[in-house]
Amino acid sequence: MELIIDAQALGADLDALAAYSDDEPPGVTRLVYGPADLRARAYLRQQCDEAGLVVREDGLGNLFARWPGSDPDLPAVASGSHIDALPHAGRFDGTVGVVGALEALRALRRAGFQPRRSLEMILFTSEEPTRFGLGCLGSRAMIGALTPDQLRQLRDGQGRSLDEWRTSAGFTAPLEVVALAPGAYGAFVELHIEQGPLLEVEGLPIGVVRAIAAPAALRVVIRGQSGHAGSVLMLERRDALLAGAELALAVEAAALGTGSRDTVATTGIFTIGPGAVNAIPNVATLEIDVRDIDLERRDQVLQAIKASTEAICARRHVTYDLIELNADPPATCDPAVVETIIKVCDRIGLPRLIMISRAYHDSLFMARICPTAMIFIPSRGGISHRSDEYSDLDQIGQGVAVLAHSLAALSHA
């Protein structure tokens, strides 16, 4: 099959999405259910209609664009990613996997391919944790790892519920039918930018992901006592910020302490109140992200952070609440799907690296319900979650070609 990827169309889709943003270019900020997200979704829905795909949306706004196969009752083969972008992010994280899946289906159609299993593009809602504090909302709910009741309890930082957000965004279908029927998919493949340096360093165009690291997140709210910055003497203070500052250092020490370069931990949110230069901070909120490819080691780091929180807060006479926002196991990609992708790379002459993903993706959850693997393309300088994130359009096109050939093979498997 001669497959021609339309790099111009891919570039136009990426440009269009990048323009739906609440940030100054080249930065992209697109929080789930905000106006930019809704305009980007409308654009993609139109592209799916023009491509002749059958579109369905669930109550969370997960979007499914299907090309029915000749045997439509067989479990489908899907590909997709997310379009939400954290504050001041780049234009490639997630979007490459969404417009890439769309272009893969368009290219297969142009080539006269006939799928046996249906092929589908999926746009997952809220892969980033920005609005509701929990990543991969759409895929978690689709696989039944988040129940409707748990979804209804989710709130943004201002206390507005996910239910209010999604219904005012027009997604009113019951949350009870977000979870997929068992056996809905026969395979899932996600195309994504690497978000790390390896492919560029090795000079290779394609990564084939064999495993995805285990992510976890904690929220710690520390409460001390406010007071006058001039009149409360140093030995009488219960400063919440200083307890939080010690905790942030303990987070770094816990990750370094494993001695493994695969352990990483980040305090990405640290806010204090009341927020006056002449008042002692009485509250500090920290959100802490911990990851490792090894689940046991990741959990040991979580335990070490919890023990440090207890010890620091006791010593500084402050109180705390600690919530585990998520603690997910790692995913192993399906060997047969990995092999399919490798064979495609070999056949079309693209050298590849078998690698792990240190970032999480909707594939982490899809892997629990169907054979799953990922295709990576290089990220310039390994940079991601920054406005200067960059991937080359030709290399994106190569990733889409690998994806399209892989979907074609899996559709007839």
Cβ proximity to ligand GLV, 58 vs 128, nearer residue: 128
As measured in angstroms, the least distance from the Cβ of 234 to ligand GLV is 39
Give the closest residue to 99 by CA, choosing from 204, 167, 193, 14.
Answer: 14
Candidates 85-93, 144-152, 227-235, 399-407; binding stretch for Mn ion (CB under 5 A): 85-93
Using alpha carbons, list the distances in angstroms from residue 333 to 116, 128, 136, 358, 405. 23, 21, 17, 13, 18
Residue with smallest beta-carbon separation from Mn ion:
94
Q: Is 289 in the site for Mn ion (CB under 5 A)?
A: no
Residue with smallest beta-carbon separation from ligand GLV:
359
Q: Is 128 in the site for ligand GLV (CB under 6 A)?
A: yes
Among 61, 94, 205, 215, indicate the residue that binds Mn ion (CB under 5 A): 94
Cβ proximity to ligand GLV, 169 vs 359, nearer residue: 359
Cβ proximity to ligand GLV, 128 vs 246, nearer residue: 128
Q: Is 194 in the site for Mn ion (CB under 5 A)?
A: no
CA atoms of 280 and 192, how far apart (whole Å): 45
Contact (CB, 8 A) for 393 and 401: no
As measured in angstroms, the least distance from the Cβ of 325 to ligand GLV is 13
Residue 70 CB contacts under 8 Å (≥ 6 apart), including other chains: 114, 115, 116
316 token code pair? 């500084």
Among 20, 360, 365, 376, indicate the residue that binds ligand GLV (CB under 6 A): 360
Q: Is 287 in the site for ligand GLV (CB under 6 A)?
A: no
Cβ proximity to ligand GLV, 123 vs 359, nearer residue: 359
Q: Which residues pair with 80 in a beta bridge?
A: 122
Candidates 64-72, 88-96, 258-266, 350-358; binding stretch for Mn ion (CB under 5 A): 88-96
Residue 360: name its binding partner from ligand GLV, Mn ion, none (Cβ under 5 to 8 Å by kind).
Answer: ligand GLV
Cβ proximity to ligand GLV, 79 vs 195, nearer residue: 195
As measured in angstroms, the least distance from the Cβ of 87 to ligand GLV is 12
Cβ proximity to ligand GLV, 128 vs 328, nearer residue: 128
Give the closest residue to 98 by CA, choosing from 396, 364, 352, 409.
Answer: 396
Q: How many CB atoms lie within 10 A of CB 160?
A: 15
120 token code pair? 């589908």
Side chain identity at residue 405, one-letter code: H
Q: How many residues does the chain have?
A: 413
Q: Is 359 in the site for ligand GLV (CB under 6 A)?
A: yes
Cβ proximity to ligand GLV, 93 vs 200, nearer residue: 93
As measured in angstroms, the least distance from the Cβ of 227 to Mn ion is 40
CA atoms of 138 and 126, how far apart (whole Å): 6
CA atoms of 155 and 195, how far apart (whole Å): 29
Judging by beta carbons within 10 Å of its beta carbon (0-12, 13-18, 19+), is residue 170 exposed, middle or buried? Answer: exposed
At 21 the three-state DSSP class reads coil
Q: Is 93 in the site for Mn ion (CB under 5 A)?
A: yes
Contact (CB, 8 A) for 192 and 94: yes
The count of chain residues that interact with Mn ion, using the rule CB under 5 A, is: 2
For 181, which DSSP code?
A: P
Cβ proximity to ligand GLV, 242 vs 377, nearer residue: 377
CA atoms of 64 and 61, how far apart (whole Å): 9
Q: Is 92 in the site for ligand GLV (CB under 6 A)?
A: no
DSSP string, 270-333: EEEES--TTB---EEEEEEEEEESSHHHHHHHHHHHHHHHHHHHHHTT-EEEEEEEEEPPPEE-
As measured in angstroms, the least distance from the Cβ of 210 to ligand GLV is 17
The count of chain residues that interact with ligand GLV, using the rule CB under 6 A, is: 3
Site residues (vs ligand GLV, CB under 6 A): 128, 359-360
Site residues (vs Mn ion, CB under 5 A): 93-94
